[in-house]
Amino acid sequence: MTRLIFLGPPGAGKGTQAKLLAEQLEIPHISTGDILRSAIAQTTPLGQKAQSYVEKGELVPDELLLDLVRERLDQPDAQKGWILDGFPRNVSQATFLEKLLQELNQSFDYAVNLDVPDEVLIGRLLGRGRQDDNEQTIRRRLEVYRNETEPVIAFYRERSSLKVINGDRSVDEVTQSLTQIVAS
């Protein structure tokens, strides 16, 4: 049973790696970014509330995400493992997740931080060209990452659950490192 939390700055390759690994391990890839983008595309009530935050590179308010993550991790397919990609994004989400996993009687193996220098991140995101990948929004996302998400790395380090991987390598090389962590 594998349960992993993927951390890392925007463009670090969380989504790319989580998708590959989840397919390989036949477990769900749960991406809060994907859930929000799909809600925005379908103009659901969640999407309408989240859109302006995502477009500006801000974090969507916690109250829009917490119940959603609770329901998703309680689904039958999540009982055989999962990769959580993009959640938690701040310490309050990390604290929530810690309590939620206790409640659901689940644990996790590691929080994995994909480490990539800023200049590489900006190049990748501009190359991808998603709606929220313009230069101004990317800079804001990086700033939000430093202020809100980096403390989450310390949160997991203090709990001895953190693994750091160099994400500034080819997709295959990063996947290999992740596969080794899963096997360890």
Query: Applying CB under 6 A, which of residues 2, 32, 51, 113 lies at the interface with ligand B4P?
Result: 32
Q: Please tell me the distance from the alpha carbon of residue 70 to that of residue 101, in angstroms, as a whole number.
A: 9
Residue 5 in contact with ligand B4P, rule: CB under 6 A: no
Residue 89 engages ligand B4P in binding (rule: CB under 6 A): yes
Residue 70 touching ligand B4P (CB under 6 A): no
Nearest CB to ligand B4P, comparing residues 33 and 81: 33
By CB under 6 A, name the one of 7, 13, 30, 108 that touches ligand B4P.
Answer: 13
Residue 54 touches ligand B4P, criterion: CB under 6 A: yes
Contact pattern from residue 155 through residue 174 relative to ligand B4P, giving x for each residue in contact according to CB under 6 A and a dash for the rest: ---------------xx--x
> Which position has the token pair 């001895």?
160
Q: Which of 108, 110, 113, 124 binds ligand B4P (CB under 6 A)?
A: 124
Decide if residue 86 touches ligand B4P (CB under 6 A): yes
C-beta of 152: minimal distance to ligand B4P in Å?
10
Cα-only R_g, the chain: 16
In SS3 terms, the chain reads as: CEEEEEECCCCCCHHHHHHHHHHHHCCCEEEHHHHHHHHHHCCCHHHHHHHHHHHHCCCCCHHHHHHHHHHHHCCHHHHHEEEEECCCCCHHHHHHHHHHHHHCCCCCCEEEEEECCHHHHHHHHHHHCCCCCCHHHHHHHHHHHHHHHHHHHHHHHHCCCEEEEECCCCHHHHHHHHHHHHHC
Residue number closest to ligand B4P, CB atom:
33
Nearer to ligand B4P, 1 or 139 (CB): 139
Residues binding ligand B4P (CB under 6 A): 8, 10-16, 31-33, 36, 53-54, 57-60, 65, 86-87, 89, 93, 124, 127-128, 141, 170-171, 174
